[in-house]
Chain A
Amino acid sequence: MPGRKAARLLVGLTAAVAVLGLAVPANAQEKKIKIGVIYDLTGPLAGGGSELQYIGAKIMLDQFTKTGVEGYKIEAVYADAQSKPDVAINEAVRLIEQEKVNMLLGFFSSAQCVPVAARVEQLKNFMWITTCISSAVLSDKNFKYVFRPQASGDQFGLMTTDFIAQNAKAKLGKDPKDLRVAIIHEDGAYGVDVSKGNEAGAKKAGFNIVMKEGYAATAPDLSALVTKLKRARPDVIFHTGYNPDITLFGRQAREQGLKFAALVGHGAGYGVYEKLKEGLGGDVNHVFNADPISIWAANEKGLNAKLPPVIKMVGEEFDKVKPGVAIRSAHVGMAASNTYVFLTEVLPRAIKKYGGVDPEALRKAALEVDLPEGGTMLGFGVKFFGEGEQMAGQNQRSFPVVIQYIDDKSYVVWPKSQAQREAVLPLPKGSTFSNQ
């Protein structure tokens, strides 16, 4: 009898311990989403805009870390892709397999995005791309877990050619068919994709494409490219590059006496005004750049009323990190806005409607995002192409704008609906590159 009692006691104790044992971790296991964040913090791309993107994303993640989302804590794990695709892949896999992150966010370079997206999809993890624009990341891939609120590269190329086409007669005094254009680009996924958009847009507009050429962003000399441009005599140069090659091109173009009516850049290096100014001095005046609109230049009246205070907060936080910057780079707002969309639209829906933060819940929630124009700090709306569509995962409502740097300020000049002022076109007489 005492033996039976002891046995019952033991069973009871075991059961209690088991229940408590299960209950304790259940209580202790806080609800959280672990987000792996990858940008280039070292290497040439860091100074080319990636560090600014990192700052933008971090500002937003830090804000939400303070409050959490729907009872979930936010834990960001940062990694440096070192401007190398192989490192980006390794870091992505490390974050997923060792750090056990629920998702990945970030990515500046298209050359990294293309292979990383494929790997992440293979691992069935969730990837939210804030920055890289190459269409090759998503085109015909039919990825289920990769989403990009950002505009795609060919949209950049099409936007700038459309801008020039619409202004050719009025500003440059030439019919589009008589306009000589050159398309030059760095030869990575980003440059090639934008140049394809440029070429398609140029053909659509009927421009005379006198030259189209790629080059390595690390090339120590671009003088042969400049000589060929001099021989081709383009009115407009569409250029896609990172920062060291853009300043090298600008400097050698000045030294070799290249003349044109307009230079149109496409994000990345052209989005970091401070560096352009430092490298090219006054020659950067009147250069055009296509990028998602800077959140500080967006027309507040057209935005959702809850967004202007967030924009103000991002600006204040950025000024603390980088005080005294003449023009706050569009890069910062781009990452901040795209991160904000995830934290306010995708994550709460995944938790509330789909019960968690697993890739499947995040995917379903992302596909249901339906923001009209003005729904993001970048002015555009968000609605992703769904499975089976050619650009599955791409935001179909995003668009870049064309800005122009004038006297140390940047102005949106295209499309007309967003324009803050008339474009200065062609380059004024007397400026270094003017062909007038």
Chain B
Amino acid sequence: MQAFLDIFDIYLLEAVVNGILLGGVLALLALGLNLIFGVIDVTWICYAELVMIGMYGMYYMVQVFGLPYWAAAPIAILLVAALGAALHYIVIAPLLTAPPINQLLATGGVLFILQSFATVAFGIDFRNLGIRLPVLAIGEMHLSYSRLLSFAAALIGMVTVYLFMTRTYTGTAIRAISQDRQIMSLMGVDTKRIYLITSALGGALAGLAACLLVLQYDVHPFVGLSFGPITFLICVLGGLGNFVGGFIAAFVFAEIISLGGLFSDLEWGYVLAFAFFIVMMFIRPAGLFARRS
């Protein structure tokens, strides 16, 4: 009994809180990807690489050109938003009516292009922003401000996207298109414009994630490999295109990783998380929070 009670110590609480904070990072990443899929019905396999480009943007603006972080962040967000819009205009738009596998392969190709571009343009060195935020200490428990920031940004991002989608005309148009893209164009809605806005918005969310991730991670051309697959799994787990589902799935996934890692080897945390994903795919193939038809 005592051994069981010993588990409930400050370190368990720390692991739970760290899981929530990691969930914030993953939720932020999943938000933009879900938006794109929900509306345009295309999965940007290269989403984490857009984040990587944003991280490089932050690094160069802050470290090389000496811009303060708060000034560089909006520019990076705009930069990745423009990149998102360009990606749609150049790659996705011509493939909108193509089979999904072609769209997937095309964005996969963009993934390799962006990785190779970064390798050639920025080199293979790991680069660090050099900003070290303080730590919030509550007794034995220490919390990272950079993660708290990500968590707050994920929450604010989520609420903002929700309000944008429900309270604005463009948001309503986006939701309407996601429900039936053919009928909306028949009703006079400029679907091309809406797609472009959605892609820019998805890019902006990738840019926001980049601004926060660059505080926690080194940037290198392959940093997307650490996040891309997990982000994709979270979106699928929450139901592709379901913002709230993706948001909650991110926290479920992060807690399994964190607590699994605490009670067993770190790797078992990931094994459990992926096993959970596979099981859920059998039980709820459309995602955790998909509505039953």
Contacts and interface: CB of A to CB of B under 8 A. Distances in A.
B15 A227 contact: yes
A159 to B, nearest CB: 26
Given A47-B126, A218-B226, A42 B18 contact: no
A213 interface: yes
A256 B267 contact: no
How many A residues touch the partner, as a band? 35 or more
B79 to A, nearest CB: 23
A215 B266 contact: yes
B180 interface: no
A254 B134 CA distance: 10
A329 interface: no
A42 B119 contact: yes
B18 A219 contact: no
Contacts of A43: 124, 222
A86 interface: no
B22 A223 contact: yes
A280 to B, nearest CB: 9
B170 interface: no
Interface string A48-66: 1001000000000000000
Nearest to B26: A220
B220 A227 contact: no
B230 A243 contact: no
B128 interface: yes
B221 A247 contact: no
Nearest to A277: B128
Given A244-B220, A257-B137, A231 B11 contact: yes
Contacts of A187: 267
B14 A213 contact: no
Interface in B126-156: 126-128, 130, 132, 135, 137, 140, 142-144, 146-147
A80 to B, nearest CB: 10
A73 interface: no
A310 interface: no
A208 B258 CA distance: 26
Contacts of A124: none
A247 B137 CA distance: 21
Contacts of A216: 267, 270
Interface string B258-292: 11111001110110000000000000000000000
B218 interface: yes
B125 A47 contact: yes
A255 B142 contact: yes
A248 interface: yes
A214 interface: yes
B257 interface: yes
The A interface, classified by DSSP as helix, strand, loop or mixed, is helix
- Greatest chain A CB density within 10 A among B18, B124, B137, B227 is at B124
B144 A224 contact: no
A382 to B, nearest CB: 31
Contact of A220 (B127, B146, B230, B267): B230
B126 A243 contact: yes
Given A43-B222, A247-B218, A248-B217, A225 B227 contact: no
Given A219-B266, A275-B125, A279-B128, A227 B221 contact: no
A97 interface: no
Contact of B9 (A218, A222, A231): A231
A278 B128 contact: yes
B178 interface: no
B216 interface: yes
Interface string A398-424: 000000000000000000000000000
Contacts of B217: 220, 244, 248
B71 interface: no
Contact of A224 (B18, B143, B220): B18
B124 A224 contact: no
Interface string B68-105: 00000000000000000000000000000000000000
B22 A221 contact: yes
Contacts of A219: 226, 266, 270
B269 to A, nearest CB: 6
Contacts of B135: 254-257
Given A224-B15, A231-B9, A281-B132, A44 B266 contact: no
Nearest to A212: B265
B183 interface: no
Contacts of B220: 44, 47, 244
Contact of B261 (A224, A254, A257, A278): A224
22 contacts: A42-B124, A47-B220, A83-B222, A220-B22, A220-B25, A220-B230, A225-B261, A228-B262, A230-B14, A243-B126, A244-B217, A252-B144, A254-B135, A255-B142, A255-B143, A255-B144, A255-B146, A256-B14, A256-B18, A257-B137, A257-B142, A278-B130
Interface of A: 41-44, 46-48, 51, 83, 187, 213-216, 218-225, 227-228, 230-231, 243-244, 247-248, 251-252, 254-257, 275, 278-279, 281
Given A219-B266, A224-B260, 16 more contacts: A44-B225, A47-B125, A221-B258, A223-B258, A224-B266, A227-B14, A227-B18, A231-B11, A244-B126, A254-B132, A254-B135, A255-B143, A278-B126, A278-B130, A279-B218, A281-B130
The 9 A-B residue pairs with the shortest CB-CB distance, nearest first, are A224-B261, A255-B144, A257-B142, A46-B124, A223-B18, A220-B226, A215-B266, A231-B11, A278-B128
